[in-house]
Amino acid sequence: MLKLKRVGVDTRQENVAFLSRHCTIYRAAEFAGLEKVEVAANGHRIIADLVMVDDPALLGADALGLSTTAFNHFGMPEDTAVRLKYATPARSRDALHAKIQGSELGSDQFAAIIDDIAHHRYSRVEVAAFIVACGGFMTTAETLHLTRAMVAAGDRLSWGNGVAAGGLVVDKHCIGGIPGNRTSMIVVPIVAAHGLPIPKTSSRAITSPAGTADTMEVLANVEVGLEQMREIVREVKGCLVWGGHVRLSPADDVLISVERPLNIDTREQMVASILSKKLAAGSTHLVIDVPIGPSAKVRTQNDALRLRKLFEYVGDAIGLNLRVTMTDGSQPVGNGIGPVLEARDVMAVLENRPEAPVDLRERALALAGRILEFDPALRGGAGMARARELLASGAALTTMHKITALQGKPPREARLGHLSREIVAEHDGTVVAIDCYRIARIARLAGAPFDAGAGIDLLKKAGSFAQAGEPLYRIYSDTETDFRFACGMAAENSGFTLGVTPKAGEAA
Amino acid sequence: MLKLKRVGVDTRQENVAFLSRHCTIYRAAEFAGLEKVEVAANGHRIIADLVMVDDPALLGADALGLSTTAFNHFGMPEDTAVRLKYATPARSRDALHAKIQGSELGSDQFAAIIDDIAHHRYSRVEVAAFIVACGGFMTTAETLHLTRAMVAAGDRLSWGNGVAAGGLVVDKHCIGGIPGNRTSMIVVPIVAAHGLPIPKTSSRAITSPAGTADTMEVLANVEVGLEQMREIVREVKGCLVWGGHVRLSPADDVLISVERPLNIDTREQMVASILSKKLAAGSTHLVIDVPIGPSAKVRTQNDALRLRKLFEYVGDAIGLNLRVTMTDGSQPVGNGIGPVLEARDVMAVLENRPEAPVDLRERALALAGRILEFDPALRGGAGMARARELLASGAALTTMHKITALQGKPPREARLGHLSREIVAEHDGTVVAIDCYRIARIARLAGAPFDAGAGIDLLKKAGSFAQAGEPLYRIYSDTETDFRFACGMAAENSGFTLGVTPKAGEAA
């Protein structure tokens, strides 16, 4: 028997086991061709990828190491005597192969695959194979099976009578990709001020310069447990917290951990991922924001329409009342990009200040209006006006103050980066396009979201005229290295396209 | 700057870098969302997957660890000061995405992808995505591009006048999947005895109970370097060595390391893999053995025909003169399965002993005959007769003795396992089928190929009649655990299907 050791490496979603090549109990060569082994002791068992260790200082010949993730999943103390054997292929292996070969799968097959993925019985390579195979060919019925399977594999929240007003729990979701699009932080206080429960969980940025959770953390604590979240929503109807504490769709967490580095974002996976999480979160009514633009996730009206139909098909089948709103995704929303700058824009809107970005305000009002229309007590078509009223009266601001007070103080004080540089127009011209992807990259290089005060403040938006030498945006950073990288990237290509203005005397 | 450390874990084909979560120079969180980083020092650079280390005992806060593979690729000593940065996506990233989305790629795109794969710039997840995307849709033209790209990414052998007879270098390849199919060890001495150069490199078993290299190692040393191989072939025209020393298709090695655990075996990948390696090995003429059977890789005549056409199309385009031979793949070949037992069968054929398995002999003669037909000096249709003559006369045996003598003594003496058990027929009946996959699994569990003497000796083949209680095969093993596992699996399902013989008096 081998002795269990914890090997303190973070292999993320994947279970990894380590075995010495000098192991005297199991012949390393015997396992070398296999990727998956089963580690077992006292009824506990875990499937893990096997990695061979050459260095005796890292792992003894009689030890079996488990990575942090695997060790926690296994749940046994160090020095437990463990057995190692060939892992039998995951139960859903045949279904995976059928999908790879282009078959349409049934609900049982999706259930088996998602159950195996949620329980870490797939290697990352198998997960990638599943994602790419689904991306190649997937019917709407399969998307529904996948969504249901993902809900079944996780926990499911129920809000009960203390929270839900007449059974209504509303939510909003943006499919993402547009920097500065922090409407949730305006929509939630408006909707909560109206009295509809909106327990919003958000993510932190993974590859973008800020997630809603990062920006909200400038104003308040966002690491709120489920019970506290329930109390806050009972009291003020809304919250804006980080969703990482809640295990709503463990299979989706695994899928995303592979999709992100692959940079794959298929329509079907997106629909299944979003709707399964919303259903699991106990939402009954949902508005989905789909920005359309040349550097957005959805590039044409036609693509947006197909996506909308798929959301509606699956939403109807799982009993989620949803509306898809298509919005302008041609450029960043608001002026600030990065947590501190975005929080500034959000508060300017809530405080009805004259410098508040109009595009951010109008988007938020339109989305809030759509959500308010779910309220049976409201006259049809009155949602937007009601939203505007709640914002203008200061009711939304008051609710936001209550939410931040209940969630608690932010973990650290965030202020704007102390290094800044303006990027200027090279020639006269009207701003015809701003590349969302490029601007996000520059803001990220500047240090966002890890430095909350790093980012970009846009001084011109599409349609504005800029004279040669006039600033287009300002980069903020907190460290010299990040600042240099970000400025270098902006110098190479600012992300702005300026129209060439014909010189006086030339024909237009 | 970080200090380079070698971390003695074997991450196979993949470069892995380790960074402490307590690193003071780079913020771990900043890199946590990224899978790929670039490590650089003094003009050396390497792309690696990044893994975070929690345990200070494993890696210091100012150290950057590289796995054994990555450390060797990087080629700098420990304690070198290294820089870490975001890896720019692999050059071929757009081409990969186009393939995932179902596009047909051109030769430049395949060249870029294969170059990145050969240089370890893809993660395993990206490699899996490429394989599955190709499996979903791939044209014959794309298969050709892939083959050419794989040849271009590796070394290429040239045999020169000392070896090649009139420019001819012949070879054979079996697509695999049939236990006991050790024809190479009979074909090579026959063809070499005739005088055609046949420098055969073979693989070790990865998931099967024996590869040709494993079985040959019972008789001789197979770990022969390129120069010694050249000398042997110059002297006796043939050799039977392990191909692992020769870096013929590094991209294919990476692809296979992902395909194997995924258990994916697409026609296009197979053709590109085999033909690129044969061309790189300097072969000019090639016979390919495609066994057809219900538990073989190719299951129908139609599938075999499509595979043959693809081999021919690509072979013609890259200037490889090839013939595809379809053979019976309905059951294991010969009697022995596992290195020692297979070597016994091979020598029985070469020594013209009466107990030599007829099926193994006739297959080998047919394949050797096909190869001999490549000799312009031989009259058309005379190949098989010539092969039979070289075997019957003992010329092939003499050549085999010369080959084993030149390659050197085997690294250890191998003998049949000391534990054995017979698996018997449960009722009277004719053997109607033997499941190749099941038999291979049992032989593998018994310890083959790691214990050369472990395996299965078939006592009945398809078509034989067995009385209840009569032995079907014998399992050999060297260790108690393996023996128990193998016998347990055989007891559960022997892999044999016996026809039910109607009892006397019953209607047939």
A142-196 pLDDT, tens digit per residue, is 999 999 999 999 888 888 766 666 789 999 999 988 999 999 999 999 999 999 9
Active-site hit among B62, B265, B303, B428: B265
Identify the domain containing residue A81 by its residue range. 2-86
The number of folded domains in chain A is 4
Query: From CA A318, how far away is CA A151, in angstroms rounded?
Result: 10
Is position A11 within any domain? Answer: yes
Q: Where are the alpha helices (DSSP H) in B417-503?
A: 436-445, 480-492
**How is A7-67 classified by DSSP, letter by letter?**
E-EE-TT--EEEEETT-SSS-HHHHHT-SEEEEEETTEEEEEEEEEE--TTTS-TTEEEEE
The vertex-A138 CA angle with A132 and A141, nearest 5°, equals 145
- Residue A329, domain member (yes or no): yes
> pLDDT higher for A310 or B163?
A310
Tokens linked to B320? 């490889």
Whether residues A483 and A458 fall in one domain: yes
Alpha helices in B281-412 (DSSP H): 301-318, 339-350, 358-372, 383-392, 395-407
CATH code for the domain of A487: 3.90.1170.30
Question: Are the beta carbons of A207 and B125 separated by less than 8 Å?
Answer: no
Sign of CA dihedral A96, A102, A106, A110: positive
Residues B26 and B103 in one domain: no
CA nearest B17 in A: which residue? A9
**Contact of A170 with A284, CB cutoff 8 Å:** yes
Q: State which residues of chain B have pLDDT below 50.
A: 506-508
Residue A505: pLDDT over 60: no
Please check whether residues A294 and A353 belong to one and the same domain.
Answer: yes
> Is residue A299 pLDDT above 80, yes or no?
yes
| Residue A506 forms part of a structural domain | no
Question: Please, which residues have CB within 8 angstroms of residue B501's CB and are 6 or more apart in sequence?
Answer: B427, B428, B429, B430
The b/e string for B207-219 (b: 16+ C-beta within 10 A; e otherwise) is: ebbbbbbbbbbbb
Which residues, at least 6 apart from A361, have a Cβ–Cβ distance to it below 8 Å? Answer: A186, A349, A391
Evaluate whether residue A219 is within a structural domain: yes
Q: Is residue A286 part of a domain?
A: yes
Mark which of B407, B440, B455 sits at the end of a domain.
Answer: B407
Q: Is residue B252 part of a domain?
A: yes
Do A10 and B29 make contact, defined as CB atoms within 8 angstroms?
no
Which residue's structure tokens are 């932190």?
A204
The CATH number covering residue B104 comes to 1.20.970.50
Nearest chain B residue to A55 by CA: give it. Answer: B8
A8: nearest CB among B58, B206, B262: B58
Residue B470 to residue B425: CA distance in whole angstroms: 6
Q: Is the pLDDT score of A508 beyond 60?
A: no
B interface test, pick of A262, A269, A445 with most B CB neighbours within 10 Å: A262
**Rounded Cα gap, residues B27 and B47, in angstroms:** 19
Q: What residues of chain B, 414 to 433, have a C-beta less than 8 Å from chain A? A: none
Cβ separation of B8 and A55 shorter than 8 Å?
A: yes
Tell me whether strands B16-20 and B44-53 are parallel, antiparallel or unpaired. Answer: parallel
Q: Give the H or E element holding residue A287.
A: strand A285-292
Co-location of B365 and B299 in the same domain: yes
Q: Give the phi and the psi of residue A22 in degrees, each rounded to 5.
A: -95, 15
Nearest CB neighbour to A54, from listed B8, B51, B136: B8
Please report the residues numbered 135 through 154 in chain A whose beta carbons come closer than 8 angstroms to any beta carbon of chain B.
135-137
Between CA A163 and CA A197 the distance in angstroms is: 7
Q: Report the percentage of chain A scoring pLDDT > 70.
A: 95
Q: Are B308 and B188 in contact (CB under 8 A)?
A: no
Listed residues A34, A67, A86: the one ending a domain:
A86
pLDDT tens digits, A418-431: 999 999 999 999 99
Does residue A285 sit in the same domain as residue A137?
A: no
> Terminus-to-terminus CA distance in chain A, angstroms?
83
Residue B378: exposed, middle, or buried by beta-carbon count in 10 A (0-12, 13-18, 19+)?
A: middle
Kindly state the helix (H) or strand (E) to which residue B325 belongs, with its residue range: strand B321-328
Q: What CATH number does residue B71 fall under?
A: 2.40.40.20
B-chain residues within 8 Å CB-CB of A123? 261
Q: What angle do CA B82, B83, B85 make, to 5 degrees?
A: 145
Which domain-ending residue is among A86, A114, A133? A86
Whole-number pLDDT of residue A32: 57
Q: CB-CB: which of B53, B124, B207 is closest to A125?
A: B124
What is the C-alpha to C-alpha distance for residues B153 and B156, in angstroms, rounded to an integer?
9
Same domain flag for B100 and B202: no
- Contact yes or no for B262 and A125 at CB 8 A: yes
ipTM: 0.77
- A53 → closest Cβ in B8, B36, B132: B8
Give, in order, the Cα–Cα distances in Å from A426 to each of A429, A492, A500, B41. 9, 12, 11, 36
Put simply, whether A53 touches B (Cβ < 8 Å) is: yes
C-beta neighbour count of A99 within 10 angstroms: 25
Residues A33, A180, single domain; the answer is no
Q: Can you read off the two tokens belonging to residue A471?
A: 């600033």
Q: Which of residues 113-132 of B touch A (CB under 8 A)?
A: 123-129, 131-132
A440 in any annotated domain: yes
Neighbours of A207 (CB within 10 A): 12
Q: What is the mean pLDDT of chain A?
A: 90
Tell me whether residues A27 and B52 touch, CB distance under 8 A.
Answer: no
From the list B36, B89, B133, which residue is nearest A136 (CB)? B133
Chain B closest CA to A265's CA: distance in Å?
11
The alpha-carbon gap from A301 to the nearest alpha carbon of chain B, in Å, equals 20
Q: Is A163 part of a structural domain of the chain?
A: no
Residues 298-337 of A with CB under 8 A from B: none
Task: Please judge whether B35 and A129 are an interchain contact, meaning their C-beta atoms are less than 8 angstroms apart.
Answer: no
Q: What is the mean pLDDT of residues A387-401?
A: 98
Mutate which of B49, B125, B134, B207 to disrupt the A interface (most A C-beta within 10 Å)?
B125
What is the domain-level CATH number for residue B295?
3.40.1030.10
Q: Is the pLDDT of residue A331 over 60?
A: yes
Tell me whether B268 touches chain A (CB under 8 Å). no
Q: Are residues A37 and A95 in the same domain?
A: no
Tell me, yes or no, if A260 comes closer than 8 A to chain B by beta carbon: yes
A474, two tokens:
């300002």
- Same domain, yes or no, for A390 and A443? no
**Has residue A58 got a pLDDT over 90?**
no
Q: From the CA of A213, how many Å to the nearest CA of chain B?
A: 16
- State which H helix or E strand residue A135 sits in: helix A124-136
Contacts of A503 (CB under 8 A, 6+ apart): none
The phi and psi torsions of A112 (rounded to 5 degrees) equal -65, -45
For the question of residue B252 being annotated catalytic, the response is: no
Give pLDDT, residue A27.
65
CA B280, B283, B286 angle in degrees (round to 5)? 120
Statement to judge: residues B255 and B226 lie in one domain: no
Subunit contact A9:B57, Cβ cutoff 8 A: no
Chain B CB within 8 Å of residue A102 CB: yes
- CB contact under 8 Å between B137 and A136, yes or no, is yes
Which pLDDT value is given to residue A29?
56
Do B32 and B44 have their domain in common? yes
Residues A291 and A323 in one domain: yes
pLDDT the model gives residue A300: 93
Name which of B7, B30, B207 is nearest A33 (Cβ-Cβ): B207
Which residues of chain A lie closer than 8 angstroms to B18, CB-CB?
9
CA torsion, ordered B364, B370, B372, B374, to nearest 10 deg = -150
Q: Do B307 and B266 meet the contact criterion of CB atoms below 8 Å apart?
A: no
Q: How far from A8 is each of A115, A124, B4, B49, B142, CA to CA, in Å? A: 27, 20, 19, 17, 44
User: How close does chain B come to A154, measured CA to CA in Å?
Assistant: 23
Predicted pLDDT at A238: 96
User: Which residue in the set A10, A29, A123 is minimally distant from B450, CB to CB?
Assistant: A29
B33 touches chain A (CB under 8 A): yes
User: Within chain A, how many helices (H) and strands (E) appear?
Assistant: 19, 19
In 10 A of CB A165, how many CB atoms? 16
Distance from CA of A28 to the nearest CA of B (A): 10
The helix (run of H) or strand (run of E) holding residue A177 is none
